[in-house]
Amino acid sequence: MQNNNKKKPKVVSREIKEKLTEKLEELRVKELEREIQEKASFLNLPYINLKGFPISSEALRIIPELEAKRLRIVCFYRDERRANLATTNPENEEIISLRAKIETEEGLKTELYLISPVSLEFALKLYFTLPKPKKRVKAVEITKEDLKRYQPKIKTFQDLNREIQDVSATDLMALTIAAAIKSRASDIHIEAEEERVKFRFRIDGLLYDVASLPKRLWPLIISRIKNLSGLKINITDQPQDGRFSILLTDDKIDVRVSTLPSSFGESVVMRILMASSVLINLETLGFRGRSLEIFKHEIERPNGLILTSGPTGSGKSTTLYAILTHLAKPEIKIITLEEPIEYELKGVIQTQVDYSKGQTFAKNLRSVMRQDPDVVMIGEIRDQDTAEIAIQAALTGHLVFSTIHTNDAAGIVPRFLTLGVKSYLLAPAINMAMAQRLVRRICQNCKEEIKLEPEKIERVKKILEDLPAEEKKKINFANLKFYHGKGCEDCQNLSYKGRIGIFEVFTVEPEIEKLIIRGDVSEYEMREVLKKQGMITLVQDGLLKALDGITTVDEVFRVAE
């Protein structure tokens, strides 16, 4: 009779095997790191373990990926003064040449660290996270000499229209871009119509017809644009997006290109992104008086949520970039989430969300918070998940900046509550909220005083009468002076040149905090409380700038009423 009482051998589960393997690997890596640390001490080099170290894309880009893999070296940290490099092979003579090259070309002092192969592999994998540049056929090169050659010929839009008729497709694009830069245009619109090809510039927020060409030239124009921006020439029935660079001697310009099928061809919009345009300081944004004091105080706080609202094209991104440029210091880690990244900021880690790949603000924000940032900028809060993570970040020691779409500052809190966030968390999280618009500046070269119609004067006085007492007493209501531009060559006869922000700003004081915690506050209630708190409204701020001769009353009413 068979003995069934024999003990069966224990079967080790796959899960236990995997855990044992992981533990052994962990011990192996620890031992390796200890050996490398001893070797570093022997070689009189500093040692670092890069596993989990927050390496910025700005640091990685110091050494190209292929060179990093070949020499077994990475840059894991950089600031304004130095670059820290790490290698597994410090004896390599080529590394000496590489350090000399970085110190000469980048103007940075370098320091070399010893790392393990495990650390190196971790760092090299991060190259895959760098934003991949779009395929570009070539860049448009416009030198100072080109601008000198074109600009005397295009003092007015009529000049551009005349000159554009007799140039090649290649020169046509260079001429158009040179004219757009001279005109301070933010966008070039090229539209195929039934009989003509129309060129329009967006200047200070408004579109102007600047030139037109016969329809027979359309194939040459669109082919040139698509070649420059890496788009498919044979695709005409689908939207496409591309990008190309303009190489100026003293500025860096990117041109973002969008094509859209239309009835008579394609509509093209070219967004001009000038690096110099984002180098704006806080004082020139347009804040004044009490609003400026609040603004400067709040952005220096160590934690909390700061929000700005307004429609597309109201200057929200410019405001946030100016703040981040002001805050960027070696001791502060700043990470942004943007859609898309428009300008590169020195000393800031910028990341881009891509909804087509399932990368949302909320999903990427969770990853960002694991990077231990001090300051986070979120391009836009548009859903409950993003709002809740932003609030939690603000409550746990981070300074968070973001934008939200509302008509005015009074609508920000109600908008957050409609997203479904918890009111008792929102109230302590918000430090400051503001709404903004952009108004055109009067051309200072042709500015002159004007008299307003009696009805308009009365309307202005009524709005200014509601100002807080300390602001109102600065105004001479018996002698209100206003200005406009009569038009000149300097402003292309547009009467305006440049733009400035108008703002309404509030901080969360006890009465507002109670309203938020209640959870069902309306825009009307918020507006009334903010008025009692002494907030200057958008239109009031605009009219005060009109009194200062910066903008016109008509422009303020166009934008803010």
3-state secondary structure of 440: strand
Q: Is a pLDDT exceeding 80 seen at residue 106?
A: no
3-state secondary structure of 210: strand
Q: Is a pLDDT exceeding 50 seen at residue 135?
A: no
| Nearest in space to 264 (alpha carbons), one of 366, 332, 193 | 193
pLDDT in tens, 355-373: 767 777 888 888 888 888 9
SS3 of 297-334:
HHHCCCCEEEEEECCCCCCHHHHHHHHHHHHCCCCCCE
More confident residue, 501 or 330: 501
Q: Is a pLDDT exceeding 50 seen at residue 134?
A: no
pLDDT value, residue 137:
39
pLDDT in tens, 29-79: 888 899 999 999 999 999 999 887 888 888 888 998 888 999 999 999 988
Q: In what order do the strands lie in the sheet with 304-309?
A: 349-352, 334-338, 375-378, 399-404, 304-309, 430-442, 496-507
pLDDT value, residue 279:
61
Mean pLDDT of the chain: 86
Ranges 104-108, 444-448, 469-473: which has the least confidence = 104-108
pLDDT value, residue 441:
95
CA distances from 46 to 42, 129, 294, 471 (A): 10, 27, 45, 59
Whether the model pTM is above 0.85? no
pLDDT in tens, 174-209: 888 888 888 889 999 999 999 999 999 999 999 999
Mean pLDDT value across residues 220-243: 87
Torsion of CA 516, 517, 521, 524, to 10 degrees: -40
Q: Is a pLDDT exceeding 50 seen at residue 510?
A: yes
- Percent of the chain predicted with pLDDT > 70: 90
Q: How many CB atoms lie within 10 A of CB 466?
A: 12
CA–CA gap between residue 456 and residue 232 (Å, rounded): 53
Q: Is a pLDDT exceeding 60 seen at residue 10?
A: no
Q: In what order do the strands lie in the sheet with 240-247?
A: 140-141, 240-247, 252-262, 265-274, 185-192, 196-203, 206-214
CA distances from 140 to 134, 174, 184, 317, 499 (A): 15, 7, 18, 26, 28
Q: Is a pLDDT exceeding 70 seen at residue 474?
A: yes
